[in-house]
Amino acid sequence: MDNKTVASSDSRKKIALCALIAILIAVSLLVVLENQFPLKKEKSLRGVFYDDNFFLQDFSKTENVVILGSSHVGQINTTTVNQEVITQLSKNYTVYNLGISADSPDKRVDQVDQIISMKPKVVFYGISYFDFPAVPERDHLLSKTTKILSDIINNGEEFDNPQVFTRYYTVPFKVEREIAPIFAADCFSVPNTPFDMACPINKEPDTLEELKKLPNPVWITDSSQERMIALSKIIEKFDKEDIKIVLFITPVHQIYIDRLSDYQKNSFENIRKNLSEKYGVKIYDFRFKYDDLPVWSDTSHIIQTDGTIYDYDIAKMIIAELER
């Protein structure tokens, strides 16, 4: 073996060693950050925080309607919705918005029995693409790598989106963990919305140009089938108790949808079709309805105010189903 070959082999070994050291340093830094700034651990639905004392109250005074979903449901102004329902219907209804930030069907299924104890007339479940992250087979290696990091750093609580994973340990370290108390001062509780605070951090809607600058939605964990199975269990549990369940697709801007891969879009459409055909559930679709309106705080959240067109459309949906 000549000197050049030996030198080349040594060089490759040094590069591999440096890469390994860099990875170990990066992981070590993330572990240190998690120890210094741990996630809050409270009563949770597999990592989604909530106070189950809410379910101990007496719900028999009115006919109850429940709305479920993630932050895209939690942002619905329940006060506006209740006012519309009470105005339009003669019966004494109360609409409860049980939206929880970062919710998903596989987490929410653990709460169904408590919701059943409320004896709701109708349950409305808001879903969208982010509830069913789909990853092609070729990307599953990246998914497994992220799972390992989640087990080490985040006690097994996976991040579906790599941007969220990175943001939690970079931007929040500098912004959310230092400035959050300022934002928290603006947050307030909304009646009948026990698990989500209204935090109008972005008081002015983003312009179209600002929306275009936001990062693309990308997932690295494939939970689509697992969550489809969980949502099926939720529907079946409510059906067994003779509780009507209605699905609705929460608003996302066209920019968001355009940035999804065809695989992700097709996966969601197949789930929507299967749910409709298998269970005969009504599915309202709020996609594309608000694209031209200045109501967006990002490409998948409508700004929280005292009442938006989204709130009034949710009220119309509820009224229509109660009148059936």
Q: Where residue 232 falls among pLDDT bands split at 50, 70, 90? A: very high
Is the domain of 50 the same as that of 29?
no
In this predicted structure, what is the pLDDT of residue 254?
A: 93
Burial class (CB in 10 A: 0-12, 13-18, 19+), 111: buried
Is the domain of 3 the same as that of 131?
no
Q: What's the mean pLDDT in 216-228?
A: 79
Is the domain of 90 the same as that of 16?
no
∠ CA 75-171-33, nearest 5°, is 115
Is the domain of 253 the same as that of 180?
yes
Please write the tens of the pLDDT for every residue from 19-56: 677 667 766 665 555 555 444 434 445 444 567 789 99
In this predicted structure, what is the pLDDT of residue 44?
A: 47
Query: What is the span of the domain harbouring residue 102?
Result: 43-322
Is the domain of 298 the same as that of 236?
yes
| Contacts of 148 by beta carbon, 8 Å cutoff, 6+ apart | none
Q: What is the pTM of this model?
A: 0.74
Q: Where residue 205 falls among pLDDT bands split at 50, 70, 90? A: confident
Is the domain of 10 the same as that of 60?
no
Domain count, the chain: 2
Please write the tens of the pLDDT for every residue from 75-113: 899 999 999 999 999 789 999 999 998 889 999 999 999
CA distances from 32 to 26, 38, 106, 158 (A): 10, 10, 30, 18
Report the CATH number that the domain containing residue 237 is assigned in CATH.
Answer: 3.40.50.1110
| Contacts of 83 by beta carbon, 8 Å cutoff, 6+ apart | none
- The H-or-E segment that residue 14 falls in is helix 3-36
Which residues does residue 67 pair with via DSSP β-bridges, in sequence order? 97, 124
Is the domain of 3 the same as that of 123?
no
Question: What is the DSSP code string of 253-317?
Answer: -HHHHHHS-HHHHHHHHHHHHHHHHHH---EEE-TTSSTTSS-EEETTEEPP-S--HHHHHHHHH
CB atoms under 10 Å from CB of 119, counted, come to 12
Is the domain of 90 the same as that of 32?
no
